[in-house]
Homo-oligomer: A and B are copies of this chain.
Amino acid sequence: MSTDITLVLGGARSGKSRYAEGLVTASPGPRVYIATAQVWDSEMADRVARHKEDRGPGWTTVEEPLDLPGALRRHAGAGTGVLVDCLTLWLSNLMMADADVPVRSAELLAALAGVEGRVVLVSNEVGLGIVPDNALARRFRDHAGRLHQDIAAVAQRVAFVAAGLPLLLKGETP
Listed in ascending order, the chain A residues whose CB lies under 8 Å from chain B are: 7, 9-15, 43, 124-132, 135, 137-138, 140-142, 144-146, 148-149, 151-153, 158, 160, 162-165, 167, 169-170
Residues of chain B contacted by A135 (CB below 8 angstroms): 43
Closest Cβ neighbor of A15 among chain B residues: B149
Q: A152-B165, A167-B167 are in contact. Are A145 and B9 (CB under 8 A)?
A: no
Most B-side CB within 10 Å, residue of A12, A138, A153, A167: A12
Cα–Cα distance between A158 and B15 once the two chains are bound (Å): 14
Whether the Cβ atoms of B126 and A148 lie closer than 8 Å is no
Whether the Cβ atoms of A164 and B142 lie closer than 8 Å is no
Cα–Cα distance between A135 and B126 once the two chains are bound (Å): 17
Q: Could you write out 22 A-B pairs with CB less than 8 Å apart? A: A7-B163, A9-B162, A11-B125, A12-B138, A13-B142, A13-B144, A14-B149, A15-B149, A125-B128, A125-B162, A126-B130, A127-B128, A128-B128, A129-B129, A129-B130, A130-B137, A148-B164, A149-B163, A149-B164, A151-B163, A152-B163, A158-B163
